[in-house]
Amino acid sequence: MKLFPILKDDVRMRLDRWLKVNFQRPQSFFQRHLRQKRIFLFDVPTQRRVKVDAKFVLPDDANLRIGMNPELFLELSDAAITPSSTEHSNRKLPPELALPVLYEDDHLVALHKPVHLAAQLGTNTTDSVASRYPHWKLVHRLDKGTSGVLLLAKTRVAAADMAALFRDNQVHKTYIALVHGTPATGSSGTVHEPIDLQPAQTSYKVLPRSKRDPPSTSWLELHPHTGRKHQLRRHCADVLRAPIVGDVRYGLNSSWKNGNSQPSHDKWVERDGRMMLHAHAIRFVHPCTQQLVRVQCVDMAFPTLKTSPKPY
């Protein structure tokens, strides 16, 4: 009899999902062997086998093991992955690929994502944060052209809990952006403008300028209250009429041809080669420890906010 412990990263996972992740066989294969009692739960104190079905959700119980007949385990061993491999640490990265760690505990880690590195692999993308750290799970996204705080979970439980916080708007995010011109709607306020027919809300505030800032630009502090795709970029361009510097998708489109004095070409792109949007800070109540977590990412290309920002 082969026994596997239920690790903290396995809790709340369906048994058929656990089997498929670790042994790479079709779901029907495991359902058949569950019916035949070749896969079962094993209660350590009583030394008894417990019959379960494929939909059984793995509990947080140190007395239980996932059991398997030895013949079946040998049959599966060629395709086996180390069970609960997410429990293992990420491979050691070369110094030039490792990202700065801004915050870390047993459940979560916050990294400083540089500009031009994708959060996850996609079309024509060969490198990403997710591929560099395959055993951690992204709990939100940053555009490839956006730098700053990127949060990942170390366990499935933490990932699910953080996903719920993001869904319920319990994670407060602060961005800093350099934009062309000044907002047409005033020095501060809240934008309520749907994106793709979905409600979208962003608060903003104009920050003080310095003598070193490019002419005809403004610094904005931005707080997204929803998480629509390209929300900040679209709200700046379409509502504030102040597109983000370096944003070639939304900053230099046809909307600027109708009576606007915006540039026909963004010279900043030629000079710096980046979009001037930075995920400066993130704040939330930790779902596992119930402690308030504040993470800030300083980038020398952007002004630093003196205090932890509060949501509008």
pLDDT class of 85 with cuts at 50, 70, 90: very low
Of 16-30, 86-100, 213-227, the poorest mean pLDDT is in 86-100
Same domain, residue pair 48 and 107: no
User: Mean pLDDT, the chain, as a whole number?
Assistant: 84
CATH label of the domain that carries residue 112: 3.30.2350.10
Number of domains in the chain: 2
Same domain, residue pair 161 and 217: yes
Alpha-carbon distance of 215 to 207, in angstroms, equals 15
Is 311 a member of any domain? Answer: no
Q: Look at residue 14 in the predicted model and tell me its pLDDT.
A: 87
Is 17 a member of any domain? Answer: yes
Q: Look at residue 193 in the predicted model and tell me its pLDDT.
A: 95
pLDDT, tens digit (0-9, with 9 covering 90-100), for 161-181: 899 899 899 999 999 999 999
Same domain, residue pair 126 and 271: yes
Same domain, residue pair 13 and 160: no
Last-in-domain residue among 87, 119, 152: 87
Taking residues 297-305, report their average pLDDT: 87
Same domain, residue pair 245 and 127: yes
Is 92 a member of any domain? Answer: no
* φ, ψ for residue 223, nearest 5 deg: -130, 105
pTM: 0.71
Is 231 a member of any domain? Answer: yes
Q: Look at residue 143 in the predicted model and tell me its pLDDT.
A: 94
Same domain, residue pair 74 and 126: no
Q: What percent of the chain has pLDDT over 70?
A: 86
Same domain, residue pair 139 and 30: no
**Between the CA of residue 280 and those of 4, 63, 92, 122, what are the distances in Å?**
42, 44, 27, 25
- Written as one letter, the residue type at 26 is P
**Between the CA of residue 137 and those of 9, 75, 158, 289, 309, what are the distances in Å?**
12, 30, 9, 19, 26
Rg (CA), the chain: 24
Same domain, residue pair 152 and 276: yes
Same domain, residue pair 205 and 290: yes
Q: Look at residue 148 in the predicted model and tell me its pLDDT.
A: 97
**Which residues share a beta bridge with 204?**
189, 222
Look up the domain containing 13 and give its range: 2-87
Is 237 a member of any domain? Answer: yes
* Alpha-carbon torsion (296, 300, 302, 304), positive or negative: positive
| 160 contacts: CB under 8 Å, gap ≥ 6 | 12
pLDDT class of 87 with cuts at 50, 70, 90: very low
**Between the CA of residue 95 and those of 2, 19, 213, 264, 281, what are the distances in Å?**
39, 35, 33, 40, 25
Q: Look at residue 254 in the predicted model and tell me its pLDDT.
A: 40
Last-in-domain residue among 65, 87, 109: 87
Q: Between residues 6 and 188, which one has the greater pLDDT?
A: 188
Is 154 a member of any domain? Answer: yes
Q: Look at residue 177 in the predicted model and tell me its pLDDT.
A: 96
Q: Look at residue 52 in the predicted model and tell me its pLDDT.
A: 87
Is 95 a member of any domain? Answer: no
pLDDT, tens digit (0-9, with 9 covering 90-100), for 211-248: 888 888 999 999 999 999 999 999 999 999 999 998 98
- Is residue 293 a contact partner of residue 283, using CB atoms and an 8 Å limit? yes
Is 114 a member of any domain? Answer: yes
pLDDT, tens digit (0-9, with 9 covering 90-100), for 259-287: 444 444 455 554 567 899 999 999 999 99
Same domain, residue pair 142 and 193: yes
